[in-house]
């Protein structure tokens, strides 16, 4: 699929979509490293820089895929039902096929206010990564759900108790770019005098 690169910050923001399917072209590690260097420029209160990034290599992607599969299975009323096993195996296969996966984690804080702000900042870092990637034609999909706090995922990353997974970013060149609508901000804005 040929793709015109967005030219302005506004183009980047408004044309970025969550990409459900990637081409098989790899994303080099130095590209990921460069985009992460952009991500750290997001605002963060008191410069706590609370994030840590986990970039999965081939072996880790497989293990991560298995953890995703087990999480999915744990959510099913009957994981042994007919047809379920191939669907669960697809979770592993899709994960392994994803060109790059980056997990964004954040330190908490003893102060509950700063804890929340640390989480917001780390999402900001993920979003900055997504925008920087898209400005170069690289697609992303940010996912969280209850998987974020799944103990085997935490063990896989060796997370200390005060650290939380903020989200998992799936990265690759887009095979498709879906259209998704937005409600105009005009309908969500209160202009106060």
Ligand X SMILES: Cc1cc2nc3c(=O)[nH]c(=O)nc-3n(C[C@H](O)[C@H](O)[C@H](O)COP(=O)(O)O)c2cc1C
Residues that bind ligand X (CB under 6 A): 17-18, 142-145, 167, 180
Compute CA distances 126 → 38, 57, 86, 120, whole Å: 10, 19, 31, 10
Compute CA distances 17 → 1, 117, 147, 169, whole Å: 15, 25, 22, 13
Residues 138 and 66 sit within 8 Å (Cβ to Cβ): no
Helix axes 29-39, 112-135, angle to 10 degrees: 130
User: Between residues 62 and 148, which has the closer beta carbon with respect to ligand X?
Assistant: 148
Nearest to 118, CA basis, from 50, 167, 40: 50
| Euclidean distance between CA atoms 55 and 166, whole angstroms | 14
User: Between residues 59 and 180, which has the closer beta carbon with respect to ligand X?
Assistant: 180
- Kindly state the smallest distance separating residue 168's Cβ from ligand X, in Å: 8
| Euclidean distance between CA atoms 99 and 57, whole angstroms | 10
User: Between residues 29 and 145, which has the closer beta carbon with respect to ligand X?
Assistant: 145
Q: Which helix (H) or strand (E) holds 164?
A: strand 163-172
Quote the DSSP letter at residue 4. Answer: P
- Kindly state the smallest distance separating residue 82's Cβ from ligand X, in Å: 26
Quote the DSSP letter at residue 93. Answer: H
- Kindly state the smallest distance separating residue 144's Cβ from ligand X, in Å: 4
User: Between residues 90 and 143, which has the closer beta carbon with respect to ligand X?
Assistant: 143
User: Between residues 59 and 188, which has the closer beta carbon with respect to ligand X?
Assistant: 188
User: Between residues 100 and 104, which has the closer beta carbon with respect to ligand X?
Assistant: 104
- Kindly state the smallest distance separating residue 41's Cβ from ligand X, in Å: 19
- Kindly state the smallest distance separating residue 182's Cβ from ligand X, in Å: 7
- Kindly state the smallest distance separating residue 17's Cβ from ligand X, in Å: 3
């Amino acid at each position: 699929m040929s793709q015109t690169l967005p030219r302005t910050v506004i183009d980047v923001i408004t044309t970025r979509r969550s990409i459900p399917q990637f081409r098989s072209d790899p994303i080099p590690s130095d590209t990921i490293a460069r985009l992460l260097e952009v991500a750290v420029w997001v605002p963060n209160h008191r410069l706590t820089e609370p994030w840590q990034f986990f970039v999965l290599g081939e072996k880790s992607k497989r293990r991560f895929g298995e953890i995703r599969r087990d999480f999915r299975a744990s959510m099913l009323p009957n994981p042994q039902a007919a047809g379920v096993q191939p669907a669960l195996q697809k979770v592993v296969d899709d994960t392994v096929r994803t060109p790059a996966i980056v997990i964004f984690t954040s330190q908490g804080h003893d102060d509950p206010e700063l804890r929340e702000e640390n989480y917001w900042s780390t999402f900001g870092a993920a979003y900055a990564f997504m925008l920087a990637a898209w400005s170069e034609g690289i697609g992303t999909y940010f996912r969280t759900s209850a998987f974020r706090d799944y103990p085997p995922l935490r063990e896989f990353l060796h997370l200390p108790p005060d650290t939380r997974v903020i989200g998992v970013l799936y990265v690759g060149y887009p095979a498709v770019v879906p259209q998704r609508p937005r409600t105009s901000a005009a309908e969500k804005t209160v202009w106060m005098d």
